[in-house]
Structure 1
Amino acid sequence: MGSLASLPGDPSPSLEEIKARQDIEIAAVRARQDAEVAAARVRQDAEVAAERVQQDAEVAAERARQDAARAQIYKVTMMVQTVQEQAKRDAQAAQEQAKKLQEAADEGKRKATAAQEVANAWKKVAEEQVKAANAAKEGAERKLKEGIRPVVTPTPEEVSAAKQKVQYRDDLFHIAVAGMEGGGKSSLINAFRGLRDKDIGSAVTGIIERTLVMARYPHPNAEYPLVLYDFPGAGTLKIPDWQYFNTHGLYVFDSIIILFDNRFTMVDIDILTNCRRFKIPAYIVRSKADQHICNIMKDMGYDSDDDESEDQRKKLYQAARQQFIQQTHQSLKGNLENANIPDQRVYIVSNKTMLDVVKGNRPKKVIDEIELLNDLIGEAQTRRARRDAEAATIMNLTDLFGHKRQAWPALSPPLEEIKRRRDAEAAAEQARKDAEAARAQIAELIKSNQESRERAMAAGR
Structure 2
Amino acid sequence: MGGGISRLFGGRKARPNPTMWAIEEQHRREAAERAEAQRRQQIERERQEQAERLRRAQEEAWRAAQIAEQQRQEQAERLRRAQEEAQRAAQIAEQQRQEQAERIRVQQEEVQRAAQIAAQLEREMQEQAEIARREHEAAQRAAQAANELQEQVRKKEAEMKKAMEVQEVMEAKWKTGIRPVEWPSKEKYEATKRRFYKEGKFHLAITGISGTGKSSLINAFRGIWDDDEGAAMTDIVESTSAVTPYPDPNPAHPFIWFDVPGSGTLACSDWTYFNDQGLYIFDAIIVLFNDRFTATDIAILRNCERYNIPTYIVRSKSDIHIANIIQRKRRSAGAKVNLAKILDEARKEYIVRTQESVRSNLMRCDPPIRSQKMYAVSRDTLTTIVREEPLDDMLVLNEVDLLGDILQDAHSRRVADKSYGSMSDLMKKAGLDIFRLFTN
TM-score normalized with structure 2 length: 0.53
Tell me the equivalent position of 2:400: 370
Counterpart mapping for 1:237-256 below 5 A: 237-256=266-285
Specify which of 267, 271, 275 is matched with residue 296 of structure 2.
Answer: 267
Counterpart mapping for 1:186-197 below 5 A: 186-197=215-226
Establish whether residue 352 from structure 1 lines up as the match of residue 352 from structure 2. Answer: no
CA distance 1:390–1:217, shift in 2 (3 Å)? closer
Counterpart mapping for 1:411-422 below 5 A: none
Structure 2 counterpart of 1:333, which letter?
R
Q: What SS does structure 2 have at the residue aligned with 1:257?
A: strand
Specify which of 167, 181, 199 is matched with residue 151 of structure 1.
Answer: 181
Partners of 1:140 and 1:150 within 8 A in 2: no
Tell me the equivalent position of 2:90: none
Establish whether residue 341 from structure 1 lines up as the match of residue 366 from structure 2. Answer: no
- Residue 385 of structure 1, CA deviation: 2.4
Q: What SS does structure 2 have at the residue aligned with 1:229?
A: strand
- Residue 320 of structure 1, CA deviation: 1.6
- Residue 314 of structure 1, CA deviation: 1.9
Inter-partner Cα distance in structure 2 for 1:236 and 1:275: 22
Tell me the equivalent position of 2:249: 220
Q: Residue by residue, what CA displacement relative to the aligned partner does 1:42-76 show, whole Å, maximum 9, x if unpaired?
A: xxxxxxxxxxxxxxxxxxxxxxxxxxxxxxxxxxx
Q: Which stretches in structure 1 are left out of the alignment for 5+ residues?
A: 1-137, 393-461
Inter-partner Cα distance in structure 2 for 1:331 and 1:266: 15
Q: What SS does structure 2 have at the residue aligned with 1:181?
A: coil
Specify which of 323, 326, 332 is matched with residue 352 of structure 2.
Answer: 326
- Residue 165 of structure 1, CA deviation: 2.2
Inter-partner Cα distance in structure 2 for 1:378 and 1:326: 24
- Residue 389 of structure 1, CA deviation: 9.5
Specify which of 143, 164, 189 is matched with residue 194 of structure 2.
Answer: 164
Q: Residue by residue, what CA displacement relative to the aligned partner does 1:280-334 show, whole Å, maximum 9, x if unpaired?
A: 011111111101101122233449xx9978x712222222211111111111111
Partners of 2:238 and 2:261 within 8 A in 1: no
Structure 2 counterpart of 1:318, which letter?
D
Tell me the equivalent position of 2:412: 382
Tell me the equivalent position of 2:232: 203
Aligned residues: 251
Q: What SS does structure 1 have at the residue aligned with 2:416?
A: helix
Q: What SS does structure 2 have at the residue aligned with 1:153?
A: coil
Higher relative contact order (CA 8 A, sep 6+): 1
Counterpart mapping for 1:104-143 below 5 A: 142-143=172-173
Q: What SS does structure 2 have at the residue aligned with 1:198?
A: coil
Inter-partner Cα distance in structure 2 for 1:205 and 1:286: 17
Q: What SS does structure 2 have at the residue aligned with 1:210?
A: coil
Partners of 2:178 and 2:271 within 8 A in 1: no
Structure 1 counterpart of 2:374, which letter?
V
Inter-partner Cα distance in structure 1 for 2:301 and 2:319: 25
Cα RMSD, aligned residues only: 2.8
Inter-partner Cα distance in structure 1 for 2:361 and 2:177: 15
Inter-partner Cα distance in structure 1 for 2:241 and 2:335: 44
- Residue 142 of structure 1, CA deviation: 4.6
TM-score normalized with structure 1 length: 0.51
Structure 2 counterpart of 1:331, which letter?
S
CA distance 1:149–1:320, shift in 2 (3 Å)? farther
Q: Residue by residue, what CA displacement relative to the aligned partner does 1:194-230 show, whole Å, maximum 9, x if unpaired?
A: 1100111000011246211111101111111110000
Partners of 2:202 and 2:254 within 8 A in 1: yes
Partners of 1:226 and 1:380 within 8 A in 2: no
> Percent of aligned pairs with the same residue?
43
Partners of 1:224 and 1:377 within 8 A in 2: no
Partners of 1:144 and 1:150 within 8 A in 2: no
- Residue 180 of structure 1, CA deviation: 1.0
Q: What SS does structure 1 have at the residue aligned with 2:252?
A: coil
Inter-partner Cα distance in structure 2 for 1:206 and 1:390: 34
Q: Which stretches in structure 2 are left out of the alignment for 5+ residues?
A: 1-167, 423-440
CA distance 1:292–1:382, shift in 2 (3 Å)? same
Inter-partner Cα distance in structure 1 for 2:174 and 2:283: 29
Inter-partner Cα distance in structure 1 for 2:421 and 2:250: 24
Partners of 1:143 and 1:150 within 8 A in 2: no
- Residue 190 of structure 1, CA deviation: 0.1
CA distance 1:161–1:308, shift in 2 (3 Å)? farther
CA distance 1:259–1:209, shift in 2 (3 Å)? closer
Q: Residue by residue, what CA displacement relative to the aligned partner does 1:410-450 show, whole Å, maximum 9, x if unpaired?
A: xxxxxxxxxxxxxxxxxxxxxxxxxxxxxxxxxxxxxxxxx
Q: What SS does structure 2 have at the residue aligned with 1:300?
A: helix
Q: Residue by residue, what CA displacement relative to the aligned partner does 1:23-52 show, whole Å, maximum 9, x if unpaired?
A: xxxxxxxxxxxxxxxxxxxxxxxxxxxxxx
CA distance 1:160–1:302, shift in 2 (3 Å)? farther
Inter-partner Cα distance in structure 2 for 1:388 and 1:197: 34
Partners of 1:190 and 1:196 within 8 A in 2: yes
Inter-partner Cα distance in structure 1 for 2:237 and 2:318: 23
Q: What SS does structure 1 have at the residue aligned with 2:246?
A: strand
Tell me the equivalent position of 1:48: none
Q: Residue by residue, what CA displacement relative to the aligned partner does 1:344-401 show, whole Å, maximum 9, x if unpaired?
A: 1101111111001101124242111011111112222333422129999xxxxxxxxx
Partners of 2:226 and 2:232 within 8 A in 1: yes
Tell me the equivalent position of 2:317: 288
Partners of 2:199 and 2:420 within 8 A in 1: no
CA distance 1:139–1:347, shift in 2 (3 Å)? closer
